[in-house]
Structure formats: structure tokens, C-alpha cells
Amino acid sequence: MTVILRSLETAVPETVMVQPQVRDVFAAQPGLTRLGQRLVGAAFDSSGIETRYTAVKELTVTEAFENPVFFDQKDMRILTPSTKTRNEVYAEEGTKLFVEAAQKALDAATGIDASDVTHVVTVSCTGFFAPGPDYKVVRALGLEPSVQRYHLGFMGCYAAFPALRSAKAFCEADPDAVVLVISAELCSLHVRSSNNPDTIVGSSLFADGAAAAIISARDLPLDGPALSLDHFETVLTPVGEESMAWNIGDEGFEMVLGTYVPHIIDEHIIGALEPLLARDASLQGLDYSEIEHWAIHPGGRSILDKVEAKLGLSEHQLVPARETLRDYGNMSSATVMFVLKNILEQPATDGNNRICSMAFGPGLTVETALLTRIGATPDDAAQHTDGAAAVPTARTVPADLEPVLARAGA
């Protein structure tokens, strides 16, 4: 039985954060030390990000708001609302993203309508409320009240993979199942000013966005590219439980990026891939670069640099991840879905259509997936160019700050 991701759509809020403008705001915050100011400049400038999106409408330098809660544009000061205040914004604005992405995915799935959906799986780690986003999506899209609902919460950047793996299992158990998977994250709710390198790096990376997919094993025609969900694997690295975490504080959620995270990824990425690639005999003995597509969660630029170097991949193979990072930033669990959509939208080539995908998160957890692009249209090959997409330029970090940012995962 082949389980197919039939549609994949994304949604982002309207407010755009331009990276140099955000950098200047963070660098000008009161209480920032001279070292903190330098770290802000280095982290933002070397992030590989040009634009990000936020559901917090106040986070703009182009419009002032009366009685600001998150950002006072008048004196360019980042404020410190309570976790309750931040979560109230999550409940309102997050619901909008969940519903928008879900509706777009349903509309794009040929031969499937709202009455066909049997399961809804929602994913998020940036807020909580009940009845939750799974309930809101069922009501907003007019799904059957008998739809089975599941919410995967607080897992972090890798959580799209457990959601897709669950969808595959549902479809294998019931060939008539239609599963709607939606991931929505409002990471920008939790940014703050700080002299802590971990917090500075997080502020330079995190953003808001949502992605949704329709998954089914039903025998229906495809009118465009889709993904066969072949295999999934999970690996917990031997070390790293305290090195990456996502905790709840009084003034929002707090990310922990320990000093050993880059070393963990560098040392254990090969081992994490072994059980996944062992699932397919046709991949045995191949160089990693012979798998055409790599959908890597762009948790940060240094993660992509390490993956590219360790696996011997080409710059072109990391373009979908780097373009996602450049245009959207790190949207936690939704980000790898944006990378997969980038790959789906590329013209087909004469090479293989296998996709190896990876994401890293608290634990330290490495989630991997092996997929196959299918259903490409005949015109795709004729439209193919040399693929010379924009690749971000080299990092420009002052030598004395490089070790500090490296320890913080930048």
C-alpha cells in the first residue's frame, strides 16, 4: 500500500520582519552590554535570513500602536508581556494560521472534500488552549463531527515527522482514511531582549508560519507532484538531553541551546541516518550525495553547514533548506514542511526522485523520513534549468565572537 501526501500548502501572517531592521532594534535595547550588542549584530548578520513573518502585529517599525504590549515603536523598546498575554495571542492568531493552511491543503487535494477527512492531526509547541486547534479546524472547515482528532504538543522542531508518521499509520490501518496534518507555530511570541547568547541566537532565527497536508492511500488521480511517504525513523542521540530544551517561563517560553549541540549533530548525524537508509536496499552503498533531494530542517545556518559538510552534499542539494531559512526563518515544526514544498515546486529532473529529510529537536532527538516525489507533469522536465538558485553568502562573524555563537548553535 502506498500512502501519498497529496497536497502541501503553507500560510504565514501578514506582518513582515526585515532582518536588518530587527537587528537594529535588538541592538538598541536598554540593558544590553557592549558584548551583547556585538553578539546581536553577528548573530543576525550571519543567520542567512532576509525576511521573517510574525503574528504579533506590533513587531513592525512602520506603524505605531496605542498601548503597545510587545513592542513600543515610539521609543523602539521591546516589552515583556506575561506568558498569559502571549498565550492569548497564540490562541487567536494561531487559530487563524491553522485554519488557513488547512483550508488551502483541502482545496488543493483533487478528489477529496471536507466530508472525506477522517483524521485531523495538529502540531504546535508555542502555545496551549482547549478546546484546541484540532477542534477549531473541524468547526471552521465543516468537517464531520466524528473526525478523529490528535494534537502533538511541545515536541519542538522535529514534530512534523511524528505527525506524518501517524498519518501514514492511520492510512495503512484503514485504506479509506484521509488525514489532515497541520503544523502551526508562533515562535515570535516568545522573543525577548537579553545578553544571553542562546536567547540572542533564538531572537535572530525564530518566526511564525503554518503548513498543512492531505494524506491518503485512496486510489485517486494526481494532477501534480505529490510525495510517497516511504519510511520514518527516530533516533535519540546518546548525549544531549540537557543541551536543547523549550521551557515555560513567566515571560514566555524559553529556549535552551547548550554548548554541545553543534558537536552532537556533527558526531551523530551519520548514525541517525543509518536505520532510515537501511529500510531501502536500493540505497545501500550509495554516497549521500547520490540521493537527489535533501529536506533538512533549517534550525539555523550552522546546522545546514554541518549537514552539508558531514554528508558531502552539494550546495544545490541544500538550496531548498537555505531558501526557506532565508525567506521565512525558523518556524519550528512547520519549517521542514516549507522545505518539502520547495522541493515539490521544483521542476522534475532525469535523476532519482528520492527525498531524505531530517529534523533535530529537544532530547536531542533526530527524526528522519524517506520519501519519493511522484506524479510530476510531463512539462516539468522541459522547464528545468540549471537550478542556480540563490545560495546565501559566507558567514561574516568577527573571529572573537565565532566561538560564542558556535556554542549557542548559530
- Cα–Cα distance for residue pair 403/410, rounded to 1 Å: 10
Q: How many CB atoms lie within 10 A of CB 32?
A: 18
125 as an active site residue: the answer is: no
Active-site pick, 125, 157, 171, 187: 157
Q: Which amino acid is at 192?
A: R
Catalytic residues: 157
